[in-house]
Amino acid sequence: MEFKLMDFLFAFLQSFFLLFLLSFYFSCNFWAVNVGQGEARAQCLLETLDLA
């Protein structure tokens, strides 16, 4: 029972983390579109991946 609960928790945390990264990615895209710089988006994504 404990192992199943742990598996569920790990799966939940993983999906939450992926949503977190996706939200960062879209905010980077949104910011880059507003500013009009692809380089800025790339830098933002790199910083996000460094945090991960």
Taking the complete model, does pTM exceed 0.75, yes or no? Answer: no
* Domain edges within the chain: 20-52
pLDDT number for residue 1: 57
Q: Is 47 helix (H, G, I), strand (E, B) or coil?
A: helix
Over range 2-16, report the average pLDDT: 85
- Which amino acid type is present at position 51? L
Contact 21, 28 (CB under 8 A): no
Does the pLDDT at position 2 exceed 70?
no
CA distance 3 to 33: 45
Asked if 16 and 3 count as a contact pair (C-beta separation under 8 A), the reply is: no
Residues in the chain: 52
